[in-house]
Every structure is written in structure tokens, then in C-alpha cells.
Amino acid sequence: MPPLRVNPNRMELMRLKRRHQVALRGHKLLKDKLDELLKEFLARIAECRRFRASVEAELAEVYGLFVVSRAEAGEAEMERALATGVPREFIGYAERNIMSVRVPVLTVAEDLTPCCYSHIATPAVLDAALDSLAATAPRLILLAEREKAIELLAAEIERTRRRVNALEHVLIPQIVETIRAIDMKLEEAERSSLTRLMKVKDLISG
């Protein structure tokens, strides 16, 4: 690793030694943060996989009910029934901090019961399908929240790993090599100065 370009003097040497200590402390803090992020990430991954499997099983049942509804009512009637009503907001958004990572917190409206479609022109199985979807929707939103948090944690892990590697494999070795080079130059200068002084002393005494 090539040394940093600095003036080889004692002031610069003292500054570099302080910088070296700061870099070592920063490296330790980032390494500890990386370890904690990895623990959090792996724990969330395992939990999220189980939760996703559960939600997907529920959605499969909901889709099955919609397929039956479409078969009984027909495509056109289903589209007319599902196009009625007024769209409304039912998801709230906030954020919370996990080790300097801002992750989303999604809240779902309590009442997701569908309305405003003809119960006469549509089969009863459509009611069951929409009720099942309304029951599954909060868990689907929670799944989205958890998976987004995992995505953000993964990005922070990668950023932190790059910073740890930059300190460990680039900056700290450069500082150490520069300190060593300055030490060598200062020692060489001291030896040269001592040699000159001895020659002057010999000349004076001779």
C-alpha cells in the first residue's frame, strides 16, 4: 500500500498517529454496527420467509374464491361489480429508526369491508372472496413493510461493509505505512545530523 503524500516532519507524524487512533476507533464502531446489522437482518429474513409463506397461502385461497366468482357471474359482471364504489385511503405511513436505518411503519384502516356493489347480480362466493381479501390485506401490508425494512437493512449493510473494508484495507494500512516512512526519514535525518556534529567536533578538537 503506497504511503500518503505528506511532509515528513514531526508535526505531521503526530497528526498521523492521532488520525491512526481515530481510524482504529471508527473501524471498531463500524465493525460492531455491521455485526448488529447482520444479526438483525438474518433474524428478520428467517421470520419474513415464514410470514410470506403464510400470507401466500391465504392469498391462494382468496384467488380461488375469485376464480369461482368469475366463473359464476361472468367476466363482465365481475368487472362492473368491482369497479363500483369510491376509492379511499386505507394505509398510513410513518418511519422508525433501526441502527440509523429509517424503515417504514405502515398502518391499515380498521374497516376494510367492501361495499357499493350489487349483491343481487353477483354470486355469494364473491362476498366471501372480498371478505377474505379484506382479512388478508393487513397481513399483506405488514409483509410489504417487513420486506422493505429488510431491503433497507441490506443496503445499509453493504454501505457499512464498504466503509469497514476501506478503513481496514486502504486507509489504516496507508497511515501505518506513512508513519513508518516518516519514522525512517526522521531517523535518517538524525543520523546525518549526528554524523555532521561528530565531524565538526573532530575538526574543532583536531
pLDDT tens per residue across span 50-102: 999 999 999 999 999 988 888 887 877 777 777 766 666 778 889 999 888 99
Q: pLDDT for 167-179, tens place per residue?
A: 999 999 999 999 9
Distance, in Å, from the CA atom of 114 to the CA atom of 111, rounded to the nearest integer, reads 9
Identify the pLDDT of residue 112. Answer: 65
Residue 2 has pLDDT above 90, yes or no: no
Residue 160 has pLDDT above 90, yes or no: yes
Distance, in Å, from the CA atom of 17 to the CA atom of 15, rounded to the nearest integer, reads 5
Domain boundaries, the chain: 10-160
Identify the pLDDT of residue 20. Answer: 95
Residue 121 has pLDDT above 70, yes or no: no
Residue 187 has pLDDT above 90, yes or no: no
Q: 99 phi and psi, to 5 degrees?
A: 50, 50
Contacts of 175 (CB under 8 A, 6+ apart): 4, 16, 19, 20, 23
C-alpha cell at 100: 440509523
What CATH number is given for 10-160 in this structure? 1.10.287.3240
Residue 119 has pLDDT above 70, yes or no: no
Distance, in Å, from the CA atom of 74 to the CA atom of 85, rounded to the nearest integer, reads 20
Identify the pLDDT of residue 85. Answer: 63
Identify the pLDDT of residue 139. Answer: 92
Task: Give 132 or 113, the one with higher predicted confidence.
Answer: 132
Identify the pLDDT of residue 94. Answer: 92
C-alpha cell at 104: 417504514
Identify the pLDDT of residue 202. Answer: 65
